[in-house]
Chains A and B, each alone.
Chain A
Amino acid sequence: MIEKWRLLDTGLNDAFYNMALDEAISIARSKGIAPNTIRFYRWRPPAVSIGYFQSMKEEVDIEACNRLGIDYVRRRTGGGAVYHDTEGELTYSIIVNETHRLISRDIQETYRILCSGLVLGLRQLNVPAEFRPINDIVAHGKKISGNAQTRRMNTVLQHGTILRRVNPALMFRVLKVPSEKVRDKLIKSIEERVASISDILKRDVSFKELKEALIKGFESSFKIRLIPGELTDFEKDLAYRLKHEKYTTREWNFKR
């Protein structure tokens, strides 16, 4: 019988809840009280997330974020700073136990395997997606998706974003640049290195269409069936607590 995983679509939430919920589901999974799960989500208000090892003050223009109503949060995964636009991107997370057949001891290999679900899904949409180590998915050599992974308590969390539309100018208004002089240069270089799936397909791709394609990609690549499900009360309560006790705190967000 085909293996069943839970599918969650938690819609639009703020950055702190989004990060808290990924951790809450991971903890529930590690305790054996949640199944392997794939979650789709988006960010409202828009937000910048930074990698675990990054410095908030060095990466993010906090004053610009405050002025524009953009949240900022530290992730529990490594990697770089990402601007999460409400309309411009879809985020997913995969939460799976570490002993699962999809998880290799080799982290680089696990990125390739888990990203293959996204690659296959994007190809369903006729995006010529390819995995590019360490943790990116590209099409025509341009980055369309960034991904980050952590392993804790025998559970793997991989989350990442798929660009539906891209706005390099806004991206560089909220991320720190070495100097004003290079801002335009950086915007140009991002335009050359990053693309959205709407750019590539030269049409507007809806969230619904994107999610449906990714579901097919995950199901066929991982040999699983995704069953739409709900959060448990445990996960909801824990996410609420983690949001208020961790992800909204200055101690966490400015710890490096």
Chain B
Amino acid sequence: MSAVHVIGAGMTQFKPHPTVEVHELARQAAWAAIESSGVRPEDIELAYAGHAYQGQCFGQKVLLKIGMTGMPVVNCENACASGASAVWGVVNAIKAGQADIGIAIGAEKLASAKGGFTPLVADDLESSMGRVMPSVFSMMARKHMDRYGTTLDQLARIAVKNRRGGVRNPYSPWRDEITVEDVLAAPMIAEPLTRLSCCPVSDGAAAVILASDRVARRYTARPVEVRAAILASGIRNGVGMADDHSEMTIRAARRAYEVAGIGPEDVDLCELHDPFTIAELVHYEDLGFCAPGEGGRGVDEGWFDIGGRVAVSPSGGLLARGHPLGATGVAQIAEMFWQLRGEAGERQVPGARVGLAHTVGGGVTQIEAGATSVHILVG
């Protein structure tokens, strides 16, 4: 099967865009990706569009604005993993010989969501009980703190680190760094997570152009290879994500490392699913960057900073770049593309050669969560 490469990437700033409608946001990202790749619109043979709440045939409406019609377009909903699932779909379609060049688009506009939360899913039993995402991750935090002695200071340091990345990322809206004291003193959302321990709800879009091995080098001398693209879903576990580890992340990561022939010790750069500080810490362990229970110590010792064992969320991550659900997974791949080509500016991880992107999506009653993805890229 053909290797698949990223040959272009584009995104909008992640922030409230009250006057720009979502199809236009997605068009801006898609067009930026197309222009950066050097492909002509008519060379793109298929598209996946990831989003959670943007309505029917979203991708077709976006592509129509560019005049790209007639191709197979798959619209793809997997909650917060929708964009990553779109990338997975294009990678596999190219591997299967369906196309040489495809585009993955992710977008979301959530500024209209009431109360700063993602819309309540009325048919999900746990959601109807008043479960909001911060409460799930608060229970994850309680579990990890009880079992391993992880501290609130350690969790707060993750928010500080990621904000440092966000401030250096022109796609993030933030320009001010924060302190551990700021995080701990922010308004409480769900104990023990304060507002600065949670990602914001934002609007935004991202897109990447993917190409087969056969054609990638016609467009760029430096394609970024997608060495593994793994998608998985949660198993029935009775507690959802309120645990001290993510079984489905561990499972997907193991498979990704096996497929890529690369181990966690080889990863230079990681964009993981950090909608809440505790999630980032738990996923250090799930992805094999440290042993279970060592995440807190790793934060204290700078293992996950630029210059440490593996630079985690140098873009700011969901916490400090923002989290427009469907856009996030595609934005992670765009970040990998820029980082692994040395084009990430002030947030560049020096010499980064291997990157890992990870998302988790969807609270579903009775299973851990709806979806997880792990992509491993090599520059």
Chains A and B belong together in one complex: no
Residues of A bordering B, CB below 8 Å: none
The interface of chain B, by Cβ under 8 A from chain A, is none
